[in-house]
Structure 1
Amino acid sequence: MIHESKYPDLKIPQVGIYQYVTSNPNNIPDDKIIYLDGITGKSHTFGEFKHESKKFAAGLQNKLEFKCGEVLAIFSPNQVDYPIVLLGAIAAGGKVTTANPKYKATELSHQLIDSGASVLIVHPEFLVTAIEASREAKFPTSRILLFGDKEIESYKPYRSILIGEREIEPVSYSPEEAKITTAYLPYSSGTTGKQKGVEITHTNIAVNLTQLISSDRKLGPHSRIMGILPFFHIYALTAILHAPLIHGATVVVLSSFSIKTFCESIQTYKINHIYAVPPIILRLINDPLVQQFDLSSVNLVISAAAPLSDELEKEFYKMFKIPIFQAFGLTETSPLLHHSDTTKNAVPGSIGVLAPNLKAKILSEDGRELGYNEPGELWVHGPNVMKGYFNNKEATDAVFDKDGFFNTGDIAFVDEQGIRCY
């Protein structure tokens, strides 16, 4: 039995990521702040982002002879220049692989080698690890540049090398090219095995942004979003780095989580929309320090990356009177797959509604299609599902069937209200 989304299909964007996020359907003025550092107050307006990212792209091409299809790696915690580097590389026709800043040198080295990265942009705090990884990967030190404005041991800030006066016209893609051209290479272990590069195309991201924005129409230029989730992860990459460029919200960027800084930022900047994970919800419930801050500006929390128990969700609402809706997805689905029903009569926390343009089926271990209330493996099909695992045909073939359905590896069942994951 094939289960389809209850929502009508959305029109699939016919352009590359950069063109899509700068298309400005909501008439955002160029002086609107999109990214704001919650600690230093440094910011980038919509106009500054466009100019800086196109200058970064020009610098890549002129100074480093960066070609279409080359891979740029980012090794950094959250910070306000991250989207300029990320989307500047996309504007130059490149791919971007985002690395977890907590990686050890051997893990970073594996990702650099496996992705074929030719440029590495590093946060100064993690330069030592990056240098060690670059030695293991035989990565040229001349192609390692820093965030920030200080030179460290002959490693130079990217701004001093790449940012000049010239801007490029961002590389564009036909609809067919956008469907097959890889933009991002985040790394995931998938359902099993070692870390693999997940080929996310321009269309995958553009479609998932459309799905994401359609599921939460409350977001707009009035919104202030908490930017605490790690930018290297597909969840934040889509919802926090890309989506605000379309709906015009302001992201308050924090590089690391502490209850004090988190709550101070909500109180200071009147944050009203939070993307979170269950451990953050748990800390907010259990830490008495939270009670010293005014969190009344928050009107919605979206929890994802892991299931949130009914008990925690009810306890959170009891304490703060803030609804939590849950979303479910994977790196391989760019990431949104299904989410709580956000219609007027929905119950917060009830996971289950497939995003638009998606189909799903539940299969038994022996490959039989199951009906209602029969638990089995969840398989999905849609335009936000990855192209495949990078340079790994065996792993790719193992997760797709002959009809193009992707095996999520999750156990789920379908009832009258939607999909329920265990």
Structure 2
Amino acid sequence: MWNKIEGASREKLGETQLKRLQDTVTRVYELTPFYKEKFDELGISPKDITSLEDIQKLPFTKKQDLRNHYPFGLFTVPMSEVVRVHSSSGTTGKPTVVGYTQGDMDVWNEVMARVYTMAGATAKDVVHNAYGYGLFTGGLGFHNGAETIGATTIPASSGFTDRQIMLMKDFNATILAATPSFALHMYEAAKKSGSDYLKDFKLKSGVFGAEPTSEGLKEEVSRVWGIDYHEVYGLSEIIGPGVSSNCKHSKLLHVNEDHFYPEIIDHKTGQVLPDGERGELVITSLTKQALPIIRYRTGDITSLHREPCGCGRTLVRMESIVGRVDDMIIVNGVNVYPSQVEHVIANTEGVTLNYQIIADKKGHLDKLDILVEVNEDVLSDSVAEMEKIKKDIERSLANNLYINANVKLVEPRSIERSMGKAVRVVDKRV
């Protein structure tokens, strides 16, 4: 463990959480007109928070609230105390803007040090960081965490795949930090260049995140690079990467709940769900200074689990993100998550995990095309074999997801690659 609080008793952890929650509620009530108005509308004040269960009395915060107060309207410190600003991609409308005091940066570095420690990294390691640098929190978040544990850090950033391969090999990188889709893209480039990746590279572990990923894709990244796969979850509105990650003992992700209090709610009713049930993840920041957020609705679908972990950490664990409330697509009345489609593809022989889902209209009905790249060996197979693979995927989608889709097998590397998050869904209906 990086910090002993990761293995603290649940009683001690609860005491820490309550004190920090009370401080945060007081902070936003006194310093943020937005929250004071929300609290007053509900008839509550900071003194009403006397237990962790009382968090359910507090209002939710949504992404639109941050956009409505763009850029710095929800900050609780003067700009003279803000040492860093990041923002989301802002694909629609204004981006969400987040700020950090030096204290916030210390927390971020702390939780990312925990991430690397769970992945087995130490000061002796060389971290190849292939996350993009800039307003996106990924690059600098992973970078600072690696430096915090004393590792040698290579700020490779995203893109320039051939250079990435060369640096990773020549600098003897032992830890890879990247999105899983880019990690596979790098492998394809290494294989194409003729590199004997198992001999030429020294990688032992990887920290991957920034996009929902099926078990099949995780296993593929781990297999082709011959490394341990460690998943990292985070979001800029809360801190960036570092909200949770998994250790070698479990696929569930330890939530750093001394800094981030998690809840699972029914996204339609807002009611808190019991442990083990899937719903929308809601997070309250407990230690943020520049931009503390109360009950932030992440839109991510997951579940919480409190069973003991073999690593000794007592932190609550969360399931890998199944999908998002807002990127779930509804096809003729059926809810479909990209990760579910990916799971079907991952269990099919002869295809890669590079795919794209295209939703469109045919008359008044929805139609779904799924482009799937075949591997190079299949290209030489017969038309009959290709047709069998196509039908197998379509049958599995119908049997498991109850959707009728037209699967189109395409050549290797014909689907455009992303240097960041993979674009899995193209919805032409909107």
* TM-score relative to the length of structure 1: 0.50
Name the larger-Rg structure.
2
